[in-house]
């Protein structure tokens, strides 16, 4: 790492910010300027409309990384540490607002002509949250003013709030709200056991922090068992999975060359309800899909497709199989075996078994597509430069803040199921130990990558 002074870094960040802002504004002018941050008007924008051009995506990453690094540089280190320690209260406040559906309530108020939003008292009446819980200032005022300070909601008066561009993303958006509710609810609750889990050298599923919580684990159940016995939660999890994909779905549909596959079968291994394969079939008519999962999930998937893409079920472009991905795949010689958000659920040994079970059914025309984020750390070996885009100095090589969520997700994987996000070299090692070759990493306009693997040419 080159030793640079704080002043070098400050001026370097100015340069990065200046050029990134220049590019962002040029792209906005060319392709459309988004709503202002304070704008509470809800337009049911198609997610595809929010897919940035490659240049805008890259410039935005630089701007975000530089702005975040600037805070670390300018803040008193003690303030930086205290702010980090207290940050979970922002998450708690968002959870409280989301679970009470405050964005929908404020949206309804705006439709009724209340352009300045609602008072904390009115919000209390509509949500049942105790108005004077904390004395003079109502509970709502307190959670909402914290969120408004974090650019989620507008504060329009001493105790009055309206939606802003960020909070409108939650209007009528049950999938995203479910994802936020899982993070703020049971995933948050189990994270209190993380320190105990850190001290345990077992990577077994049932030893994860989640299963240490006796509320969930009275009979030694794992996360997936718990999902199965609680039907409301089971549905919520499936919905949340599609919510988690909202910002990267269209990047995945556009940035991998699905159209070059021709007439091909995609086996969606551990496919859930097919949150990616359904829009894939909608867009690419040469593709057909086989969704494989556990029995309870396959029932859910069939229902989901019957409602959302019945034609594909009727003409058998979409078929469904109960299958255990630790056993040899029952579809031989498919062009694509897709593993989306699967590898990060499991430790290396389990992933090697999952890949080997697919490998046994592959031909030399088959590919395994691992669709999940590759974790990019704040230090990268020179070899990574050929695989991944590296940020310019003085930014961290992984751009910093654009990678923060994936690092949080990594800890959550450990929290729930002793799973892990992987770096490019960790992924390469698992793939090679399973006897496959990592052919290419497709960087998409979002945190999720498509890692393409094939059989070695000698087999
Ligand atoms: C994180 S979800 C991902 C679902 C889907 N691929 C997606 O991207 O929305 C993991 C999936 O793995 C499935 N799963 C877990 N163990 C499995 C097994 N042994 N065989 C097949 N599927 C399994 C779960 O039921 C769940 O649907």
The pLDDT tens digits for 386-435 are 677 889 999 999 999 999 999 999 999 999 888 999 999 899 999 999 99
Atom number, ligand 1, closest to the C-alpha of residue 238? 9
The 3-state DSSP class for residue 16 equals helix
Whether the Cβ atoms of residue 367 and residue 337 lie closer than 8 Å to each other: yes
Look at residue 256 and tell me whether its pLDDT is greater than 90: yes
Each residue's pLDDT tens digit, 83-129:
999 999 999 999 999 999 999 999 999 999 998 999 888 888 888 87
Look at residue 298 and tell me whether its pLDDT is greater than 50: yes
Q: Cα separation of 139 and 269, whole Å? A: 45
Q: Please give the average per-residue pLDDT across 55-66, as a whole number.
A: 96
> Which of 140-149, 304-313, 396-405 shows the lowest per-residue confidence on average (mean pLDDT)?
140-149
Closest CA to ligand 1's atom 11:
270
Look at residue 185 and tell me whether its pLDDT is greater than 70: yes
> Which of 243-257, 367-381, 398-412 shows the lowest per-residue confidence on average (mean pLDDT)?
243-257
Under the banding of pLDDT at 50, 70 and 90, the label for residue 135 is very low
Q: Cα separation of 217 and 396, whole Å? A: 40
User: Which of 16, 19, 28 has its CA nearest to residue 67?
Assistant: 16
Contacts of 138 (CB under 8 A, 6+ apart): 120, 121, 124, 130, 131, 132, 159
Cα-based distances in Å from 145 to 170, 184, 285, 290: 18, 18, 48, 48
Whether the Cβ atoms of residue 386 and residue 371 lie closer than 8 Å to each other: no
Under the banding of pLDDT at 50, 70 and 90, the label for residue 136 is very low
Pocket test for ligand 1, best of 224, 308, 342, 447 (most atoms within 8 A of CB): 342
Supply the pLDDT for residue 386.
65
Supply the pLDDT for residue 9.
97
Exposure letters 433-457 (e unless 16+ CB within 10 A, then b): ebebebeebebbbbbbbbbbbbbee
Q: Please give the average per-residue pLDDT across 369-377, as a whole number.
A: 94
Mean pLDDT, the chain, rounded, equals 90
Contacts of 305 (CB under 8 A, 6+ apart): 273, 274, 278, 312, 313, 318, 320
Q: Cα separation of 354 and 19, whole Å? A: 45
C-alpha of residue 270 to centroid of ligand 1, in Å: 4
Gyration radius of the chain's alpha carbons: 23
pTM: 0.89
Look at residue 134 and tell me whether its pLDDT is greater than 80: no
Closest CA to ligand 1's atom 15:
270
C-alpha of residue 325 to centroid of ligand 1, in Å: 9
Q: Does the interface ipTM go beyond 0.85?
A: yes
């Amino acid at each position: 790492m080159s030793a640079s002074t704080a002043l070098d870094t400050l001026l370097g960040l100015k340069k990065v910010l200046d050029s990134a802002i220049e590019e962002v504004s040029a792209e906005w002018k060319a392709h459309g300027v988004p709503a202002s941050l304070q704008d509470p008007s809800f337009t049911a924008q198609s997610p595809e409309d929010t897919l940035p051009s490659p240049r805008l995506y890259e410039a935005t990453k630089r701007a975000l990384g530089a702005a975040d690094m600037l805070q670390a540089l300018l803040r008193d280190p003690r303030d930086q540490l205290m702010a980090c320690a207290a940050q979970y209260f922002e998450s708690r406040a968002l959870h409280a607002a989301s679970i009470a559906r405050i964005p929908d309530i404020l949206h309804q108020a705006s439709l009724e002509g209340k352009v300045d939003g609602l008072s904390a008292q009115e919000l209390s009446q509509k949500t049942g949250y105790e108005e004077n819980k904390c004395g003079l200032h109502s509970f709502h005022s307190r959670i909402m003013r914290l969120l408004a300070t974090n650019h989620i909601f507008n504060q329009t008066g001493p105790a009055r709030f309206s939606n802003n561009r960020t909070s409108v993303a939650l209007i009528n958006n049950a999938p995203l709200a479910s994802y936020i509710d899982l993070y703020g609810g049971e995933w948050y609750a189990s994270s209190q056991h993380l320190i105990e889990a850190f001290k345990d050298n077992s990577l077994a599923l049932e030893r994860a922090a989640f299963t240490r919580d006796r509320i969930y684990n009275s009979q030694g159940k794992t996360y997936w068992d718990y999902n199965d016995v609680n039907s409301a939660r089971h549905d919520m999890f499936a919905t949340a999975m599609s919510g988690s994909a909202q910002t990267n779905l269209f990047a995945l549909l556009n940035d991998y060359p699905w159209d070059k596959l021709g007439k091909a079968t995609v086996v969606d291994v551990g496919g859930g309800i097919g949150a990616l394969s359904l829009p894939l079939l909608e867009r690419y008519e040469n593709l057909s899909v086989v969704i494989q999962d556990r029995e309870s999930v396959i029932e859910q998937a069939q229902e989901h497709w019957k409602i959302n893409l019945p034609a594909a079920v009727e003409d058998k472009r979409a078929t469904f199989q109960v299958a255990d991905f630790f056993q040899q795949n029952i579809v031989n010689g498919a062009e694509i075996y897709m593993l989306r958000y699967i590898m990060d659920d499991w430790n290396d040994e389990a992933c090697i078994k999952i890949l080997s079970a697919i490998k046994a059914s592959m031909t030399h025309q088959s590919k395994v597509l691992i669709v999940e984020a590759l974790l990019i750390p704040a230090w990268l070996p020179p070899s990574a430069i050929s695989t991944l885009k590296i940020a310019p100095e003085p930014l961290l090589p992984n751009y910093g803040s654009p990678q923060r969520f994936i690092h949080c997700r990594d800890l959550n994987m450990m929290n729930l199921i002793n799973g892990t996000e992987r770096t490019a070299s960790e992924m390469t090692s698992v793939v090679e130990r399973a006897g496959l070759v990592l052919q290419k990493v497709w960087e998409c306009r979002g945190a999720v990558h498509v890692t393409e693997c094939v059989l070695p040419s000698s087999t």
